[in-house]
Amino acid sequence: MIDILPSILSADFAHLADEIRTVEEAGATMLHVDVMDGHFVPNITIGPPVIECIRKATSLPLDVHLMITEPERYLRSFIDAGADSISVQVESTVHLDRAIQYIKNEDRNAGVVLNPATPLTMVEEVLENVDHVLIMSVNPGFGGQKFIEYSLDKIARLKEMIEEAELDCRIEVDGGIDSGNLREVLEAGAEMIVVGSHIFHAEDPAEALRELFRIARQFEGESSVGSTARFES
Segment interacting with Zn ion (CB under 5 A) among 19-27, 65-73, 142-150, 220-228? 65-73
Considering Cα of 220, then 189, then 132, then 160, what sign does the dihedral take? positive
Nearer residue to ligand DX5 within complex by CB, 82 or 196 = 196
Closest CA to 65 of 13, 111, 4: 111
Q: For the chain, first and last CA: distance in Å?
A: 24
Nearer residue to ligand DX5 within complex by CB, 32 or 154 = 32
Q: Which residue in the set 3, 4, 10, 19 belongs to the binding site for ligand DX5 (CB under 6 A)?
A: 10
Nearer residue to ligand DX5 within complex by CB, 50 or 101 = 50
How far is Cα of residue 160 from the mean position of the Cα atoms in its chain? 19
Cα separation, 136 vs 185, whole angstroms: 12
**Torsion angles phi and psi, residue 176, rounded to 5:** 75, 25
Q: Which residue in the set 6, 111, 140, 205 belongs to the binding site for ligand DX5 (CB under 6 A)?
A: 140
Residues belonging to the active site: 34, 174
Asked if 209 interacts with ligand DX5 (CB under 6 A), we say no
Asked if 26 interacts with ligand DX5 (CB under 6 A), we say no
Measure Cα distances from 111 to 26, 63, 131, 134, 184 in Å.
26, 9, 6, 7, 22
Asked if 115 interacts with ligand DX5 (CB under 6 A), we say no
Applying CB under 5 A, the residues found at the interface with Zn ion are 34, 65, 174
Applying CB under 6 A, the residues found at the interface with ligand DX5 are 7, 9-10, 32, 34, 65, 138, 140-141, 143-145, 174-177, 194-198
